[in-house]
Amino acid sequence: MAIEKILKDDASEEKGERARMASFVGAIAITDLVKTTLGPKGMDKILQSTGRGHEVTVTNDGATILKSLHIDNPAAKVLIDISKVQDDEVGDGTTSVVVLAGELLREAEKLVAAKIHPMTIISGYRMAAECARNALLQRVVDNKENAEKFKSDLMKIAMTTLSSKILSQDKEHFAQLAVDAVMRLKGSTNLEAIQIIKKPGGSLKDSFLDEGFILDKKIGLGQPKRIENAKILVANTAMDTDKVKIYGARVRVDSMSKVAEIEGAEKEKMREKVKKILGHGINCFVNRQLIYNFPEELFADAGILAIEHADFDGIERLALVTGGEIASTFDNPESVKLGHCKLIEEIMIGEDKLIHFSGVEMGQACTIVLRGASHHVLDEAERSLHDALCVLSQTVNDTRVLLGGGWPEMVMAKEVDELARKTPGKKSHAIEAFSRALVAIPTIIADNAGLDSADLVAKLRAEHHKEGCNAGIDVISGSVGDMAELGISEAFKVKQAVLLSATEAAEMILRVDEIITCAPRKREDRM
């Protein structure tokens, strides 16, 4: 029986049961991979690259782990995507979202095995998610009016976020740093203005917040090391001779002196360019590209601080914070926006000299200098701090706050359970399953801490049966504790994003009943 081939060679398709199996297996595998990183006693992972050098990263950040995995399973890819989106949107909860989606799928797998149609499960999940969200909304605390309380809320959120990371030992110090930095932003979520500089050496405790901007570059030879009331021109221009960039362009001369003339003319062009730049009335010039010896000397003669070879990032940020624009032509000095700052000086951090711009135009700008024993520590510290900063900047806009430590999950689970009891029909099973998936999060937190999760979660559930209880898992003492007293808080926005995107992702994967793998595009060998 020769059935004609519909798909190309190498392409494959999987249907019904098997397709769903593949999705479930993939998604659950991913969940199991990252779930041990959840919570304050979560473990870290080594990411070992298979590329040259076998570089090693040690991390606890779900998004970082998932981003680096290379995976063929389509369902697993969906989970990785939601963790990425979570990272971009709110910055934290990247592990939670994947774990919750995975648990939802794990429960769905059982329901499908019990012959419940995926569509029924989906609609049950939807109802449950809506109900859970309402439950959270009822219990949120909003301290927008009270600045003092709000600040302490921010501190708590920052500490909760940091407690699961490498910074946990110095979490108060870093929470303070993060809160100060975010408060400077005054409500904008533009984290660009917060610059993080990593300098090996010292210990994590030596990290500090500095107002202004720090550029990791050197000041040219023989130029002033300190400038007050600086007018800064930020540029991206080639400071060697403007070359005629046509292939094969060449000059023909008939004597040596003419060559010398041309050389002189080239030099003259450079001098002209420098003159034009000086014509802007500046006293600091920062270039993205190299400034060669000759112009450097000219700048030094004019008493101007010239910084060469600042990278893309540095240039863009510098332009942003000093309020200047990146210039590449210098013919119209009046149309170029110069940057301003009160003071430029050279400072030493550890063993390195850096350039410090203080009193910059954009008041929000600040720099966090991270110190740490090694690059692993610094990289991980940066990731952790970034998470905290993201969450805080989101919280400043949406000031609603929840308790942490598994408390929101238990609150939601309780409400969802109620709903399940009220709902007639098969949907009720799905809603019940949703509640079980929610409870899985405190279970995993307890498991990671090496605690008896079954016992703790049961206790927690009993506590939550009382009205207005604040009970959550206190991982440090290994028991059920009052989260309000322990000061463990989370941002409402993070929880909501976790809940909604996990439900959506689970829904999407559940809908799949066929996977078609396309034939890989043939590529010609490069060499």
Partner 1 sequence: MAAVTAAQPRSSKTESYVDNKRKEDIRQANIKAARAVADAVRTSLGPKGMDKMISTANGEVIITNDGATILNKMEVLQPAAKMLVDLSKSQDSAAGDGTTTVVVIAGALLKQCLLLLTNGIHPTVISDSLHKASTKAVDVLTAMAVPLEISDRESLIKSASTSLNSKVVSQYSTLLAPLAVDSVLSVVDPAKPDMVDLRDIKIVKKLGGTVDDTELVKGLVFDKKASHAAGGPTRMENAKIAVIQFQISPPKTDIEQSIVVSDYTQMDRILKEERNYILGMIKKIKATGCNVLLIQKSILRDAVTDLSLHYLAKAKIMVIKDVEREDIEFITKTLNCLPIANIEHFRAEKLGHADLVEEVSLGDGKIVKVTGIKDMGRTTTVLIRGSNQLVIDEAERSLHDALCVVRCLVSKRFLIAGGGAPEIELSRQLGAWSKVLHGMEGYCVRSFAEALEVIPYTLAENAGLNPIAIVTELRNRHAQGEINAGINVRKGQITNILEENVVQPLLVSTSAITLATECVRMILKIDDIVNVRIMKWQSTAKYLLSSRILYGGFFLNFLFCLFVFFSKLCFLVNNETIHMQHAHLTIQALL
Strands 226-235 and 284-287 come out as parallel
Residues 343-382, mask of contacts with partner 1 (x by CB under 8 A)? -----x--x---------------------xxxxx-----
Cβ within 8 Å of residue 208, ≥6 positions away? 177, 368, 369
Q: Which residues have a Cβ under 8 Å from the Cβ of 255 and sit 6 or more positions away? A: none
Sequence-ordered list of residues with C-beta below 8 angstroms from that of 119, at least 6 positions apart, any chain: none
The count of chain residues that interact with partner 1, using the rule CB under 8 A, is 91
Q: Give min distance, CB of 262 to partner 1, in A.
A: 5
Shortest CB 285 distance to partner 1, Å: 16
Select the residue interacting with partner 1 from 7, 259, 454, 458 (CB under 8 A): 259
Which residue's CB is nearer to partner 1, number 165 or number 495?
A: 165
Smaller CB distance to partner 1: residue 462 or 516?
516
> Least Å distance between CB 209 and partner 1?
22
Q: Is residue 48 a contact point for partner 1 (CB under 8 A)?
A: yes
- CB closer to partner 1 out of 183 and 270: 270
Phi/psi of residue 139, each to 5°?
Answer: -100, 0
Catalytic residue among 94, 322, 367, 423: 94
Q: Which stretch binds partner 1 (CB under 8 A): 62-70, 187-195, 361-369, 387-395?
A: 62-70
Question: Residue 243, interface with partner 1 (CB under 8 A)?
Answer: yes
Q: Following CA atoms 171, 177, 179, 180 in sequence, which dihedral angle do they give, to the nearest 10 degrees?
A: 160
Q: Closest CB to partner 1 among 203 and 479?
A: 203
- Per the annotation, the verdict on 142 as an active-site residue is no
Query: Under the criterion CB under 8 A, does residue 221 sit at the interface with partner 1?
Result: yes
Please list the residues that pair with 353 across neighbouring strands: 348
Ranges within 7-36 binding partner 1 (CB under 8 A): 12, 14, 22-23, 25-26, 28-29, 32-33, 36
Residues near 426 by beta carbon (within 8 Å), at least 6 away in sequence = 116, 117, 120, 124
Q: Catalytic: 61?
A: yes
User: Which is catalytic among the residues 87, 153, 387, 447?
Assistant: 387
Burial profile 410-438: b = 16 or more Cβ within 10 angstroms, e = fewer:
bbbbbbbbebbeebeebbbbbbbbbbbbb
We find the least distance from the C-beta atom of residue 341 to partner 1, in angstroms, to be 23
Among 49, 328, 397, 479, binds partner 1 (CB under 8 A): 49
Per-position DSSP letters for 50-107, written without gaps between them: SSTT--EEEE--HHHHHHH-----HHHHHHHHHHHHHHHHTSS-HHHHHHHHHHHHHH
Of 59, 377, 428, the closest CA to residue 204 belongs to 377
List binders of partner 1 among 504-523 (CB under 8 A). Answer: 515, 517
Q: Which residues pair with 517 in a beta bridge?
A: 12
CB 234 within 8 A of CB 325: yes
User: Per CB under 8 A, which of residues 295..354 are in contact with partner 1?
Assistant: 296-297, 300-301, 309, 311-313, 348, 351
Active site residues: 61, 94-95, 387
